[in-house]
Amino acid sequence: MGADEAMESELGLGELAGLTVANEADSLIGNNKDAMRKTWNPKFTLRSHFDGIRALTFHPVEPVLVTASEDHTLKMWNLQKTAPAKKSTSLDVEPIYTFRAHRGAVLSVVMSTSGEQCFSGGVDGTIQCWNTPNPNIDPYDSYDASMLRGELCGHTDSVWGLVYSSAHQQMFILMRRRGRPRCEV
CATH of the domain at 49: 2.130.10.10
| 145 & 64 share domain | yes
| 34 & 47 share domain | no
| 141 & 175 share domain | yes
Q: How far is CA 111 from the centre of its chain?
A: 11
Write the single-letter amino acid at 69.
Answer: S
| 29 & 96 share domain | no
| 144 & 85 share domain | yes
Alpha carbon distance 101, 166 (integer Å):
25
Domain count, the chain: 2
| 31 & 11 share domain | yes
| 30 & 59 share domain | no
| 72 & 153 share domain | yes
| 11 & 75 share domain | no
Q: List the chain pLDDT tens, one digit each, 185 residues.
A: 555 555 445 455 566 566 565 555 455 555 545 566 677 777 777 888 898 899 999 999 999 999 999 999 999 999 888 776 666 667 788 899 999 999 999 999 999 989 999 999 999 988 999 999 998 888 888 878 889 998 887 777 888 888 887 776 665 655 555 555 554 54
| 70 & 145 share domain | yes
| 81 & 171 share domain | yes
Q: What is the pTM of this model?
A: 0.72
Give the pLDDT score at 25: 47
Give the pLDDT score at 178: 52
| Domain, as residue range, for 26 | 1-41
DSSP string, the chain: --HHHHHHHHHT-GGGGGEEE--TTS-----HHHHT-EEEPPSEEE---SS-EEEEEE-SSSSEEEEEETTSEEEEEEEEEEEE-SSSSSEEEEEEEEEE--SS-EEEEEE-TTSSEEEEEETTS-EEEEEPPPTT--TTSPP-GGGEEEEE---SS-EEEEEEETTTTEEEEEEEETTEEEEE-
Give the pLDDT score at 99: 92
| 119 & 74 share domain | yes
Give the pLDDT score at 181: 52
Q: How far is CA 30 from the centre of its chain?
A: 32
